[in-house]
Structure 1
Amino acid sequence: MDILDQPLSPVTEEHVLVIALAWWEGRRLWFNGAVLLSGIAGIVLPPFNLFSDNRFILLEIAVWAILVNLAYCAGYMLEALAYQYQLNWLRLGKLRWVLFKIGTGLVSFATFSFANLWYIRGY
């Protein structure tokens, strides 16, 4: 078992928060990859014209990427808040993979839906 996959054990506040941050940041690339693939799938699977009348598509994609990565920080922030307010009963260290999978799935679905509905159907 990797040290980052171990549940939180309150040694020091700094130790716990560094482990939580390292765990979440170590998986950010996988998260971004999943979101990227879902966005590409939302654009490529149905008929889509990348050069449609939408001149701001690259700006919108960049803003979406920033917002999604800010939302990714919620996992780490949730652990930091739970530790700060001594909510050790939440056992977030054991739930990291669950939170990661649920969050990645929801954001990937939202990205696919956004690409599919907004750009293809014009909503």
Structure 2
Amino acid sequence: MVFPNWNGAPERIIPPSHQLPAGRWEKHHIFPQARDLAEWFETQGVKIHHYTMPIPRDLHQRIHRGGERGGAWNQAWREFMEARPNARPEDIYKHAGQLIYRFQLLGGPIQPYYSRPGA
């Protein structure tokens, strides 16, 4: 996401800040690492370690707490996988955006797992 510069230079684009506020953050895999889901994502052409988002630690624990095998976040993905076993990558990415909104994941930019948070 980028924002226009409203200070008289409409041609310039100001990128969003990648600096996260102080606190405890964890990298959340947008596409779960649970074996059943990870194998399905791989088959569909989605690389799970390419898409993580730093989110507050308590939020990360909350979305993965309760239920079986990864909590409500993983369950939401299992429901999608069962309903759309042949989903195309673009449908999977669209669903990821819907889940990010539904679970109110406020955090840093989406980035590969093997990068520093906020970098």
Q: TM-score, normalising length from structure 2?
A: 0.33
From the two aligned structures, give the one with the greater strand fraction: 2
Query: Highest Rg: 1 or 2?
Result: 1
Q: Taking structure 1 as the reference length, what is the TM-score of the superposition?
A: 0.33
Structure having greater relative contact order (Cα 8 Å, sep ≥ 6): 1
- Relative to its length, the structure with more helix (as a share) is 1
